[in-house]
Structure 1
Amino acid sequence: MADEKLGHGSNPPQEQPHEPLPKTYNQLLGTNNPTKKSWPELVGVTAEEAEKKIKEEMPEAEIQVVPHDSFVTADFKPHRVRLYVDLSNKVIRIPGIG
């Protein structure tokens, strides 16, 4: 009780930030991070078309065309996009960063 009279029992008022907190991780990092992480609209197009579209949106992307039944490493690379294709070279899975 004596502590409350001396001001020890309460927290000082907090200064409110002028800008709202970011809602997403990308918003926090800014434009250094790609905003798009996958391309669902590319399922069904050829690997060449998909690569062209991804490079338009993410020029630094390292594109890997992978047959659908191939084994791949599980490591994560922020600039790699794998295109899983069928026998007719059409994308069969949603391409994504990793």
Structure 2
Amino acid sequence: MAGVCTGDLGKEIWPELLGVRGEVAVKVINKENPKLSVVIIEEGMMVTMEIDCERVRVWVDKNGIVNVVPRIG
């Protein structure tokens, strides 16, 4: 997915947030780029497949821990 969104997006991926609480990840991403829409997605939830260059999905496990590296798209 890297490179799909073009323009001055700033940071596009947050590998350092893997393993932290989802709510913490959302706060960090919002602080670094308040233009993005950041949403928590629980493991097993259905989502649409379209790419949105103004969105970050924060995937969490049943304990609310980020289990996929958050990225724009």
Fold similarity call, TM over 0.5: yes
- Structure 1 residue ranges, 4+ long, deviating more than 3 angstroms after superposition: none
Alignment of 1:23-62 (within 5 A): 29=7, 33-62=8-37
C-alpha separation in 1, matches of 2:43 and 2:13: 17
C-alpha separation in 1, matches of 2:12 and 2:40: 17
Alignment-mate amino acid for residue 11 of structure 2: K
Q: Identity over aligned residues, as a percent?
A: 35
1:67 deviates by 1.1
Q: TM-score, normalised by structure 1?
A: 0.64
**Deviation larger for 50-59 or 70-79:** 70-79
C-alpha separation in 2, matches of 1:96 and 1:44: 15
Larger Rg: 1
CA RMSD of aligned residues (A): 1.4
Structure whose residues are more often helix by fraction: 1
Q: TM-score, normalised by structure 2?
A: 0.84
Alignment of 1:1-98 (within 5 A): 29=7, 33-98=8-73
Alignment-mate amino acid for residue 41 of structure 1: E
C-alpha separation in 1, matches of 2:35 and 2:65: 22
